[in-house]
Structure 1
């Protein structure tokens, strides 16, 4: 019986102690501006703590920020491959819950609207991202001349695949309207978005 009473007292002291600890709950979702879908594996850094959380497959994250005596403001920075960094500042000097919906912009503004603007300006670009060493074939220059397009290679620049897909898909729609679908048989098959278009 004594052991049971001591155990209950010990548990109560732990629960009481943990309730005395104030914290700021920071949670939310991170979305892509390109397609409105959740971004998985985006990093959310809490700069003064050198800590971070990461989004799950639904783009959700959560972090419990234990308040310290001198805490006042905290800078939160979001990073995701192929997207511009985003940051915000929050107060962390008292218990609070923050629920965010962050929308991240793609690097270089690559999306459907950018493709439409480029087409309107007579710049018909097909985007590629093949890594450190750009890959060009002789057939690329023939295709470019025949269909009045430019192949733009980003090399090792971090570009979100969904950005390349949305941009290229818009250009493919334009080429279909202008030339029918015959151009699809002549273009190289490793262009982002082309396989998805053909399925």
Structure 2
């Protein structure tokens, strides 16, 4: 009889303990804002890694992982009302949005970031249609030019456009150049590939 009473007592205490944990967890979450989502590139639709996600009122930030995902949590403060979220990434236009943070809520976002200067496949196709056959380069602070560039440009009626130290996403350069390469292949065959400089973004990938 005593053992049965003790077992019941242990069971009741266990239930009360579990309830206290659950109650604490629920109370803790009830005062919490959860912000998460994924960031994609407009250039190719793929997830963007290392996007800086800033929460302005808190002076805090998070960043996307290799799958383009991010998450941030914080407790609501008494005077909280609105929060500005800003996304920045190398070679892309900034994105910002404003959310309410005065009540517990979970926000799930899907952001699509536009490349700087609109550099993508569509831009390349438009330029080609307008007779502007550009091959893009980004060599950093000190652009590199070769004598063979002008000879190649004249023979195949193309322009080498150097962005220097401008922040341009490599995937933008790749998608743009790849579209131009398709045009050159169609117009001249593959022989031009043996004469162009080998450090052009996208060229090695095309040859693989």
TM-score by length of 2: 0.87
Would the alpha carbon gap of residues 136 and 4 (structure 1) be closer, same or farther in structure 2, given more than 3 Å must change? farther
Unpaired segments of 5 or more residues in structure 2? 1-9
Bigger-Rg structure (1/2): 2
- How far off its partner does 1:8 sit? 12
Q: Distance in 1 between matches of 2:13 and 2:144?
A: 71
Unpaired segments of 5 or more residues in structure 1? none
2:102 counterpart SS class: coil
2:57 counterpart SS class: coil
> Residue deviations 1:138-185, cap 9 Å, x none?
000000011000000111111110000000000000000111111000
- How far off its partner does 1:23 sit? 1.0
Q: Distance in 2 between matches of 1:106 and 1:31?
A: 11
> Residue deviations 1:95-125, cap 9 Å, x none?
0011000000000000000000000011000
- How far off its partner does 1:5 sit? 13
- How far off its partner does 1:13 sit? 7.7
Picking from 13, 18, 31, the partner of 1:11 is 18
Q: Distance in 1 between matches of 2:186 and 2:46?
A: 28
Match of 2:183 in 1: 174
Q: Distance in 2 between matches of 1:115 and 1:186?
A: 22
- How far off its partner does 1:15 sit? 7.2
Picking from 84, 95, 104, the partner of 1:75 is 84
> Residue deviations 1:46-95, cap 9 Å, x none?
00111001101000000002210000000000011110000000000000
- How far off its partner does 1:7 sit? 13
Match of 2:94 in 1: 85
Q: Distance in 1 between matches of 2:161 and 2:15?
A: 68
- How far off its partner does 1:11 sit? 10
2:144 counterpart SS class: coil
Q: Distance in 1 between matches of 2:72 and 2:57?
A: 14
Across the aligned residues of Structure 1 and Structure 2, the Cα RMSD in angstroms comes to: 2.3
Q: Give structure 1 regions of 4+ aligned residues with deviation exceeding 2 angstroms.
A: 3-19
Q: Distance in 1 between matches of 2:122 and 2:183?
A: 13
Q: Distance in 2 between matches of 1:85 and 1:14?
A: 42
Q: Distance in 2 between matches of 1:6 and 1:46?
A: 43
